[in-house]
Structure 1
Amino acid sequence: GTFDLTWESANRAQNYSVYEYSSYITEINGSLTLLGAGITDISLALSGYTDGTYYFIVVAHNAYGDTLSNCIEVGVGIPPGNFILSSNAGTPDDDGTFDLTWESANRAQNYSVYEYSSYITEINGSLILLGAGITDLSLVLNGYTDGTYYFIVVAHNAYGDTLSNCIEVVVGIPPGNFTLSSNAGTPDDDGNFDLSWESADGALTYSVYEYSSYITEINGSLTLLGAGITDISLALSSYTDGTYYLIVVAHNNYGDTLSNCIEV
């Protein structure tokens, strides 16, 4: 919507006038829009034009008469305006489910969303298209596993495309929930029993803790019975009369998950 009109210097012209209209101009009359009069330059900067077709003509003047230039047509088609993409993903995101949201781009008719494994600077066939023809300003994504993902949104209209910023989302999911049990009797009659637990999704290792009352969190008052365990069981022995509480913690690079606490 910003452009310059330029014209040749007309022999014997003293100054110029510039007119605009919505259809081809063949004569100067009161229906035209006068953009400038008494102009002594041979150019005029115009701005602020929106989508549409415009016609322009210049009239050269001197004391003896007026001469019309040719009439030119200018079609204005402005792509969508700039806009910003963001997400509500954690840092890292701990469940693989998050929303992409973006500002409304001026003049956009719809949007497309793309994903890739590295920073996106252009749209090409290597990207994954997550959605096209979107008229909302958000997209819900889920099912992502540990890794780093890049996203970009493209705003479209009849005159072109505009890319948002590219954002990075890191997904790092702690181990999944799992259940601890034991083969201890009720009560256990020899002080020897096994703890066993389900394999927690995403777990690398396990730690086992004991305490004299019900365990709801891991802190320095607990007794650590084992760490860096890769099995899903632990044999315990030599317990004397009493009540004991036990819990297992599953670990990975992104966090820790506690099992249920059991009483023996």
Structure 2
Amino acid sequence: LPQLSIDNDPYLVFDGNNERIYYAVSIFTSINIGTYARSPILRFLGICLVDVKNGDLEFYKNPSLVESDSDPTYSLWKYYINIYDWRPMDTPETAWLKNQLRYPENLFERQLEANYKYHVEDLQTWKRGDDFHERPENGDLFYIETNLGEGIEYVGLDLVEYRGTEAKTLAGMYVIRHGTNFGEALFYHTRNLTENLIGPKTARDTYQTEATQEISLIAGARNGNTLFYPLGGSVYYYIPTYSTVGGLQQLKLAGFVNAFSRIVGYGSGAFDAYNELENFGPRPFTLSSNADNPDIDGSFILNWTESQFADSYSVYRNSSLIAPNLPSSQTTYSISGLSTGTYEYLIQASNEFGNVSSNDNIPLTIQVNIFDISFIFEMENSIILPDDFANFRIELENFNETILSPGYDVKVNLSLYNVGAATFSILVPHPVENSTFTQGAFTGVNFTLVNEIIYSGEGLILNGLVSCSTPDIIIRYKWILIVDSVIIYTSPEDFITVI
């Protein structure tokens, strides 16, 4: 139909549920209304799916299209909505298509042509003409994955330079979003930066100059698309160079150009080029440990993530160096033999160009509580009904030799449980606190057998009995030792057989 356009770059989409492949052809209006309008009315209506097998056509409406009189031009383009059998794209059955939908490249480029100039709203800026934009030489719209602050997403990216300037500097970049933000256009400008960023053309010229000899040795040398990436705290242009021989292309050289400093690095691939770009100090990294909170035995392992470009690591405890120049392949360090106290750890990554400390120079704090208490828990493993019991014995000793040190607040819990509803009881010389619990298929009772202060040099021995009147069951049990409100020991699960 007149004043309808299709995008020149159809793309493949895949319906995995029905195992079908289609070409997606984008359709948009380009309605020239004359008078004072300098640009046509551009609206992305939707796509036509062309079945690659049989050529069948299906039309799907742009899910972000607003059909409302709130758009003063709606009456001019709604005819095209009514003339075709548009299907919705925001149903569960078409979720596969919506996830692959791409904003039309030709449409976005035509919208940008108007915005390059008419984004200026200030009269004085318009008169000066110093904020008009233009696409760089050999510029193009690129589709990439990047993070705009809401996680990785698929976007279209178009770089622009300031129009009319001899030294081509980057004015900013236009971004067209996809997915849940489909059709949202953003502009990131550079005019408030304290330093100018070179534009893509200047970056290509700088790369060509620096790598002239290497490029001259490549048969049929041709530069690929110039891409713009944030890397390592700065921004860079990536420029690949291919050889073209007999219709075959092969990557032969890759270059990075710093958009601020114009420093160039190049090599056989992106990794080599990036490493040659500048003298990089170690990159930030994270330190953690497997210590308990608090740690009760003074032994644990420090773990840290790899710091890119690091040649060695050094371990600091409370600002003192305890392990210098560990190899860059080592990312763990074992700690043992600590006494009660608070310890702060930092790992420093180093190379010839600098140092960086773990966790942005914030120490990892580990509290160690060593309890000078010994313990023995013993339990018989069977009860033969009707008159038998399971004998148990508890031995505790505070072997702290400091006479005036405060005693330990010690609790010993015994948990008895089984599958079913057996009745347990404890026989000891003093009253016992208890509470019932249910955990999954198990029901049981927690008995607090010891709850008292044990002072330096003192000890405690407690003998008792476990009774049960339900035959042919297995009683499971665990000992739990709590000192000063810290669980310092939980025994493995063990069993009492009731016969």
TM-score, normalised via structure 1 length: 0.49
Query: Which fold has the larger relative contact order, with Cα–Cα distance below 8 Å and residues 6 or more apart in sequence?
Result: 1
Which has more helix, going by share of residues?
2
TM-score, normalised via structure 2 length: 0.28
